[in-house]
Structure 1
Amino acid sequence: MTRSEYDGQGESGPLDSCDRRIMTVIDALHKRDDPIPEDLDERVLFALELEAELDARVASISQNDLVLVRGEADLAVGQGDPASITFDCETVTVMVTPRPAATGEVRLDGWIGPEGTYEVEIRSPEGTKRASSDETGRFVLEALPHGQMFQLVIRPDEVLQREGLPAVVVTPAVRL
């Protein structure tokens, strides 16, 4: 084909029935092979809230034991030993263990290092809950919704900040 044969084709021409069929097939392939995550809205909201925290350090997931193996049997959360998630940034480590509660909700036991007192906030689509750690960094958050995305916001006390800890540490959003 010469250049003149291409004139009038492409992006400037109107869609015809063949173009519509091609677009329908492409749309169906995307929906089947790469669907939009159901929790996309939740993830976007968490990311926007994170950007609002100007001096936040983002902790990464360093260990995720959501399925434990003992011998031949797999143990999932709520069966036998509880699973833990560990988040790390340069100066702070946070380990949380979700435990199912009798009400069908989740209790989150947590430990923060280095030792000291922290304000802990958990954000989820259901809202925000707060707790304070004891002097050893231990905290508990109860009555959390099962199966929801959550994000922790950790604020060390002033003494720890003077020792070099960041004012805010935020974990990535993960599902309980």
Structure 2
Amino acid sequence: MDMNQQPDAVELERVPGEDEPLDAADVALLARLARTVSALDPVPDGLVERSLFAVTLAGLEAEVAEVMELQRVLVPAGSVRGGDTLEARTITFTHERLTVMIALSPADDGRSVRIDGWVAPAAELVVQLRQPDGNREATTDADGRFVFDGVDGGPSSLLVRLPADGPGEGDAPEGTVVTTPVIEI
């Protein structure tokens, strides 16, 4: 190759047999290459789970709520449990048929997070917390309130299945699913 030639201008040489189907020698060579790559550059811990989580979320046939508000609220010391100042984070998600507001605060164990949430309009709905390690469900009360306690940090989203519209109230299909964007807890 000429030293003045740009790398993207290099034509690759054809390899004899590259258009042929794979044979046993090709399979053996690829297996050996896979072992070498695994030994020298293994897949990071948790990558497969995080990738599957992302693919699952992307594949949901769901409507996505929009993040409308993200605030940090400092709670004065002594106003809740006393001691050091707590930091709570509130996030509001909106959708044409639903608004979900959550407040994140440190859980009693000091490591995990408590999620207090409200759905409007208020209705008894199942809210699913989706994380790479698994999903959890809570049912809202008559006021639209729900809680997830002891939530580990990491990428998370909420999924809410809405009831079907009544006659004349619109054309949303039964079980319309609304999911929030993935946030870092």
Fold shared by both chains (TM-score > 0.5): yes
- 1-structure distance, mates of 2:102, 2:160: 12
List runs of 5+ in structure 2 lacking aligned partners: 14-45, 76-83
Q: What do the CA deviations read for 1:78-137 (whole angstroms, capped 9, x no partner)?
A: 944622001111111100001111212111000011111110000112211100001111
Question: Is 2:50–2:132's contact at 8 Å kept on the other side of the alignment?
Answer: no
Quick one: structure 1 residues 46 and 79, their matched pair in 2 at CA, closer, same or farther if it must change by over 3 Å?
A: farther
- 1:169 aligned to 2:168? no
TM-score by structure 1 length?
0.64
Q: How many residues align?
A: 135
TM-fit CA distance, 1:156:
2.5
- 1:110 aligned to 2:117? yes
**Residue in structure 1 matched with residue 99 of structure 2 by the alignment:** 93
Question: Is 1:84–1:97's contact at 8 Å kept on the other side of the alignment?
Answer: yes
- Structure having the larger proportion of residues in helix: 1
> Greater relative contact order: 1 or 2 (C-alpha under 8 angstroms, separation 6 or more)?
1
Question: Is 1:151–1:170's contact at 8 Å kept on the other side of the alignment?
Answer: yes
- 1-structure distance, mates of 2:147, 2:73: 22
**Residue in structure 2 matched with residue 151 of structure 1 by the alignment:** 157
Q: What do the CA deviations read for 1:118-160 (whole angstroms, capped 9, x no partner)?
A: 1000011221110000111110011110x311010011245xx
Give the 3-state SS of the residue equivalent to 1:84 in structure 2.
Answer: strand
% identity of equivalent residues: 34
List runs of 5+ in structure 1 lacking aligned partners: 15-38, 71-77
Q: Name the amino acid aligned to 2:180.
A: T
Quick one: structure 1 residues 99 and 119, their matched pair in 2 at CA, closer, same or farther if it must change by over 3 Å?
A: same
